[in-house]
Structure 1
Amino acid sequence: MAKEIREWAVAIFIAIVVIAVIRMFLFVTFAVDGLSMDPTLEDGDRVVVNKFIYDIGEVEQDDVVVFESGQDSAYVKRIIGVPGDTVEMKDKTVYLNGEPLQEDYVTHRGESYMDNFTLSDLGVEGEVIPEGHYLVLGDNRPISRDSRDFGLITEASIIGEVQLRFWPLNEIAIDF
């Protein structure tokens, strides 16, 4: 009996260590709070964030990321501009490097607190996004707190890329 208890204790300890390593270095779950990414992600959705993806690859335009805002809790937003890009918004259309961005995920195009902006409006010196910085916007533009509110985010603030919505169960999704 003592041997069986010891075996169970070792198995439980190993499982706890494996879970801790996975959560620390590889993946973390995140609860979406608010409607700023609606309809892509809704309030209460639970997602899995890949923490190591940017250790082996680059942050790309259109990635949905979780990052530390420096103000409140972590935010989930979409990468719109990467280093070297020019970005501006005119008449509710985002222009990336001078071309209108096709944003099928944006469905809420009502009045926004900042319909038009340029990089200089966001406090960027120069005409392009500098190295190590990214412009993020929520998919629900009228209510999203994003780069229009707090400026560019740094690469160091990015926790990881959203790769899986697992809650609610009837809306499990992999690609955003």
Structure 2
Amino acid sequence: MVKELLSLIIYIGIVVLICYFILNFVGCRSKVDGSSMNPTLEDKDNLWVDKLSYTFGDPKRFDVVIFNYDENTTYVKRIIGLPGETVRIDQNGNIYINGKLLKENYGKETMLNNGRAGSDVYLGSDEYFVLGDNRNNSIDSRWSDVGNVSREDIVGKVVLRIYPFKSFGLIK
């Protein structure tokens, strides 16, 4: 009886350690709050965030990421500008990276306000420029309260919508 109890305790301990490892180093669940990523993501979507891939590599342009905005808040946005680049958005909503027009079709509509990106925004060696896909309803790097996102603030890459079940699938 004691041997079986000890075996059960060890088994439970191993399961707890595996769960701890997965949630802290491999991935986590996150929930969308708001419409800033429409039409890619909807309010209340439940997501699986891959934390492991950025341990071995860097975020790429157009990745959808979760990042820490402050101690209690995370945001989900799309990476547009990479470290060392210069980002500018003209009055027509066109995005320029290092002076070249960025070809992308993630924005829901033409941006009406280019914010601080109306002038050149320089990204440091560990900084990213992020935008929501719903550009006219997004608090993102165009606004100084978000600004450039530090690499250390990026939690991970959104890879999967897990709920609602009718929308289950990979995020591109």
For Structure 1 versus Structure 2, the TM-score category normalised by the shorter chain is: 0.7 to 0.9
Alignment CA distance shift 1:33-1:79 (3 Å): same
TM value normalised by structure 1: 0.85
CA distance in 1: counterparts of 2:72 and 2:12, whole angstroms: 35
Residue number in structure 2 paired with 1:98: 99
Q: Indicate which of 151, 155, 165 corresponds to 1:155.
A: 151
Give the CA deviation at 1:53: 1.4
Give the CA deviation at 1:115: 9.2
Structure 1 residue matching 2:169: 3-state secondary structure? coil
Give the CA deviation at 1:11: 2.6
Residues 113 and 142, structure 1, Cα contact 8 Å, conserved in 2: no
Give the CA deviation at 1:22: 0.8
Q: For residue 123 of structure 2, what is the amino acid of its counterpart?
A: I
CA distance in 2: counterparts of 1:92 and 1:119, whole angstroms: 14
Does residue 144 of the first structure (1) align with residue 138 of the second (2)?
yes
CA distance in 1: counterparts of 2:111 and 2:140, whole angstroms: 16
Give identity over the alignment, percent. Answer: 36
Q: For residue 135 of structure 2, what is the amino acid of its counterpart?
A: R
The more displaced of 107-116 and 23-32 is: 107-116
Residues 37 and 76, structure 2, Cα contact 8 Å, conserved in 1: yes
Residue number in structure 2 paired with 1:124: none
Give the CA deviation at 1:110: 6.2
Q: Structure 1 regions of 5+ residues with no counterpart?
A: 121-127
TM value normalised by structure 2: 0.86
Alignment CA distance shift 1:145-1:132 (3 Å): same
Alignment CA distance shift 1:115-1:140 (3 Å): farther
Give the CA deviation at 1:104: 1.9
Residue number in structure 2 paired with 1:130: 124
CA distance in 2: counterparts of 1:20 and 1:82, whole angstroms: 31
Residues 88 and 118, structure 1, Cα contact 8 Å, conserved in 2: yes
Give the CA deviation at 1:4: 4.7
Give the CA deviation at 1:103: 2.4
Give the CA deviation at 1:5: 4.9
Structure 2 residue matching 1:148: 3-state secondary structure? coil
Residue number in structure 2 paired with 1:34: 34
Give the CA deviation at 1:71: 6.8
Residues 83 and 129, structure 1, Cα contact 8 Å, conserved in 2: yes
Q: For residue 23 of structure 1, what is the amino acid of its counterpart?
A: L
What root-mean-square deviation, in Å, do the aligned CA atoms of Structure 1 and Structure 2 show? 2.2
User: Which structure's residues are more often strand, by fraction?
Assistant: 2
Residues 130 and 148, structure 2, Cα contact 8 Å, conserved in 1: yes
CA distance in 1: counterparts of 2:134 and 2:162, whole angstroms: 21
- Alignment coverage as a number of residue pairs: 169
Does residue 20 of the first structure (1) align with residue 20 of the second (2)?
yes
